[in-house]
Structure 1
Amino acid sequence: MKLTKVKGLQGELSIPGDKSISHRAVMFGALSKGTTHIRNFLSGADCLATIDCFRKMGVEIKQDGTDVTVCGNGLHGLKKPNTILDVGNSGTTTRLISGILAGQDFETVLSGDASLNKRPMGRIMKPLQMMGADIESANGDGCAPLKINGKMLKAIHYDSPVASAQVKSCVLLAGLYADGQTSVTEPALSRNHTELMLRAFGVDVKSSGKTATVTPPQEMHACDITVPGDISSATFFIVAGLITPNSCIRLKNVGINPTRDGILRVCKDMGADITMENVEDHGGEPTADLIVRTSKLKGTVVGGDVIPTLIDEIPAIALLAAFAEGETIIKDAQELRVKESDRIALTVDNLVKMGVDAQGTEDGMIICGGNPLHGASIHCKYDHRIAMTFSIAGINAGGETVIEDSECVDVSYPTFYEQLEQLRL
């Protein structure tokens, strides 16, 4: 993808469905009695991998664009797949489905692409093994492929060393098959989509401070889910609207769950002009239209408890910092080192290539804003969030920017480039 500077961005967009919520809606629908109708489903590669895995376990799932119908098999109705479950590039699919598979009465193998099979899975293997699960890394390196031999599980209280919705969700989903109440306590509260949606499917889930507790149900019951627009996807257009001259963008129906809205808090700290309209609530998942205008920004410090609420947005925040006056420090984000790529190293390297004063630290980065950006050849290592971040940089840089592996945006945002073109003045 080749990009050049634009005069401005104007218009309105409907953001694709939230990736985290789309994954969970399919999984929980598959484990329920009855038919679950999902609207505004994200048809990205990651969420399609989740559909594929459950189809291989005997669940009937029909898809018509962004409408998905899941004919649930019930909590104990999954069937042994006759092939490996291919999770593609999806860490969410891998970690959440592992909790479900740990409690089945059959064996499975989970494997993904080369990038996925390098990501750390020890963080879910440890609590699952504490519950009595038979799960091992096929290559002995703490990564996928994972071999899971399902069995009866025992309830635990797990003190998670990381604030990770994937780890928390994995343990809570295994808890659906345990012999009593299972709870997870985190060092900071991570996104709570699992807790909210399990309640919608009739499961007793209690949240108290940084602890979530699930009581295993006799059965789960189907319900209809409308997926909000994904705030992680909206972030690229939020940043674009703030840093591109002559811009005013309306982003419709964006999820603003308080465990996910850290990007909006950081933007406010930096002096961003963002207003909310049409605030609504959908089963505990609030949404709003966001109106974003070109803004004069100032540097800030991003760290502490806000990090789990914006972990996927940090590359885009780093770009925002490049256009702010003064220094921005991002810290406590060492989790970025083990995402689809080492996002700290890749973000800093590409910013520097474009003329930004940026340096990486062990747990984040330091960016001095104000330097004009120039075009560059950007290597994303097939990381969708890096590709989209530097596409926004490219429309604000002199000369031509080339995104070398731009097709990776299909993982989470297949219509990204089409929508970017719609806004261009």
Structure 2
Amino acid sequence: MRVQVRPSELKGTLQVPGSKSHTIRCAVLSSLAKGESIIQNPLASGDGLSSLHAAQSFGISIQKSFDRWVVQGSGGNLSLPQTCIDTGNSGTTTCFFTSVASLVDGYTVITGDEQIRRRPIKILVDALNSLGAKAFLTRPNQAAPPVVIRGLLKGGDATIDGFNSQYVSSLLVSSALAEGSTTLTVRNALEKPYVRMTLEWMRRFGVVVENHQDCEHFVIEGGQTYRSPGVCSVPADWSAVAFPLVAACITNSSLRLTGLDYADMQGDKRVVSILKQMGAHISTQEQEGALHVEGGQRLKGGLVIDLGDIPDALPALVVAATQADGVTTFTNLAHVRIKETDRVQEMYEKLTLLGCNLQIDGDSLTVRGPSKIAGGEVSSSHDHRIAMALVCAGLAAQEQVVVTEAECAAVSFPNFFEKLMACGADLKLIEDELA
């Protein structure tokens, strides 16, 4: 799909979808738990559905409707998948179910789309092997899926690099069902809010983990049982909030975002405070679960922003920085380079093509603003956050911007373009012709 974006403003109210990160954790733990779980407000597209399909491959019965999934838990007694599991574009699903597969006596094969088959997972594979499972990658000299896993996970001691929190979270969840106890040491612990989110969901399902030194050392007792809490409500996705929020900040907009949970532990809530530091006029309405943003004011740079814990915020915040007075520097970005794409390089290349002033220095990205965003055609490189960020940039451009391969936005934000259009965005969606 190609999206033609013309300069325009946003007015009205926009509801944010359910969190991808929460949805996948709910799907995994509901599958492993005893009892029936009702997941309300799941992310019912893209990565959310990938987690559901992976769970079904292990014999889990799931009834799906638009706004809820009913999961019949296995009590830890999973079936061996009969075919290869395709996780699509979901890195989180790939990591969690790679560890889940270590709980099954037999061989499980997990793969994904072209991007997943480039994303490294060897660190997780090595950790599973050190804990008694048998896992290997199918391609010589490659660190990415396809991956083959055989249980059973026994427990023991493992040390893992924590620059990707998905490795850590997946091991925490599965180690509670290992034969023995596990001690997990994490070096270079980044993305800690996501690990804390995992620990909180494990607690809700009746399993408590010893967490020492702020997500750097864990003790997980084996042989435990997850028990369904009954209803699991998925809060709105703060990672998704960043895109309409930035779009409104850099245009002459008046936009209200709803469905938010300010008590939620998602790290990307910090985007609101960062934009406020940049001078954005944002009012939060915590009781109503909403916020209101008035655009039209010049943002200011001068900030050094460490994204070690919130890597997904980079694409949206970089777009905001192009419209800010002065220099904005984003640091601690090594892990941002191994998402669906190398998002540091991607944002540099795409925004440079549109006339913005960016510079990469190792694992930092510097933006000099304000820039006049020129018209032109740019590709999302099949990365949902790149696609949404570029469309937001197009709303503040001087001329029309065309974003290609834009359908991937549905991975984490279903109907993103339609929701923007309902608030006044001048977009034209053009389906690609079949070859």
**Structure 1 position 383 matched with structure 2 position 383:** yes
Contact 1:324 1:370 in 2 (8 A): yes
Q: How many residues align?
A: 413
Q: Secondary structure at the match of 1:153?
A: coil
Query: 2:200, 2:18 → 1: CA distance?
Result: 17
Query: Which is further off, 238-247 or 63-72?
Result: 238-247
Shift of 1:40: 0.7
Q: How does 1:214-253 map to 2 (within 5 A)?
A: 214-223=220-229, 224-253=231-260
Distance of aligned partners of 1:342 and 1:218 in 2 relative to their CA distance in 1, 3 Å threshold: closer
Equivalent of 1:301 in 293, 300, 303:
303
Shift of 1:213: 3.8
Query: Which is further off, 357-366 or 82-91?
Result: 357-366
1:30 is aligned to 31
Query: 1:199, 1:121 → 2: CA distance?
Result: 26
Query: 2:366, 2:186 → 1: CA distance?
Result: 31
Q: Secondary structure at the match of 1:260?
A: helix
1:47 is aligned to 48
Shift of 1:49: 1.2
Contact 1:241 1:249 in 2 (8 A): no
Q: Report the TM-score, using the length of structure 2 for normalisation.
A: 0.90
Query: 1:258, 1:379 → 2: CA distance?
Result: 29
Give CA-to-partner distance per residue, 1:150-178, whole Å, 9 cap, x none: 123223253x4334320211221231233
Distance of aligned partners of 1:164 and 1:235 in 2 relative to their CA distance in 1, 3 Å threshold: same
Query: Which is further off, 324-333 or 260-269?
Result: 260-269
Shift of 1:253: 1.8
Q: Report the TM-score, using the length of structure 1 for normalisation.
A: 0.92
Query: 2:303, 2:334 → 1: CA distance?
Result: 15
**Structure 1 position 201 matched with structure 2 position 205:** yes
2:215 is aligned to 210
2:4 is aligned to 2
Equivalent of 1:265 in 273, 282, 292:
273
Contact 2:323 2:369 in 1 (8 A): yes
Query: 1:102, 1:146 → 2: CA distance?
Result: 12
Query: 2:335, 2:97 → 1: CA distance?
Result: 21
1:284 is aligned to none
Distance of aligned partners of 1:152 and 1:124 in 2 relative to their CA distance in 1, 3 Å threshold: closer
Query: 2:313, 2:242 → 1: CA distance?
Result: 7
Query: 1:166, 1:326 → 2: CA distance?
Result: 35
Contact 1:171 1:184 in 2 (8 A): no
Distance of aligned partners of 1:253 and 1:300 in 2 relative to their CA distance in 1, 3 Å threshold: same
Query: Which is further off, 393-402 or 313-322?
Result: 393-402
The alignment yields a C-alpha RMSD, in angstroms, of 1.8
Query: Which is further off, 31-40 or 331-340?
Result: 331-340
Contact 2:45 2:410 in 1 (8 A): yes
Contact 1:172 1:182 in 2 (8 A): no
Query: 1:342, 1:116 → 2: CA distance?
Result: 13
Give CA-to-partner distance per residue, 1:245-278, whole Å, 9 cap, x none: 1323333324642633232232232122222213
Shift of 1:389: 0.2
Percent of residue pairs bearing the same amino acid type: 28
2:167 is aligned to 167
Equivalent of 2:286 in 274, 278, 283:
278
Q: How does 1:152-191 map to 2 (within 5 A)?
A: 152-156=153-157, 158=159, 160-178=160-178, 179-185=180-186, 187-188=189-190, 189-191=192-194
2:146 is aligned to 145
Query: 2:391, 2:305 → 1: CA distance?
Result: 25
Query: 1:126, 1:268 → 2: CA distance?
Result: 42
Shift of 1:321: 0.3
Q: Secondary structure at the match of 2:300?
A: coil
Distance of aligned partners of 1:157 and 1:129 in 2 relative to their CA distance in 1, 3 Å threshold: closer
Shift of 1:108: 0.2
Distance of aligned partners of 1:416 and 1:246 in 2 relative to their CA distance in 1, 3 Å threshold: closer
Contact 1:203 1:214 in 2 (8 A): no
Structure 2 residue runs without a partner (length 5+) = 426-435
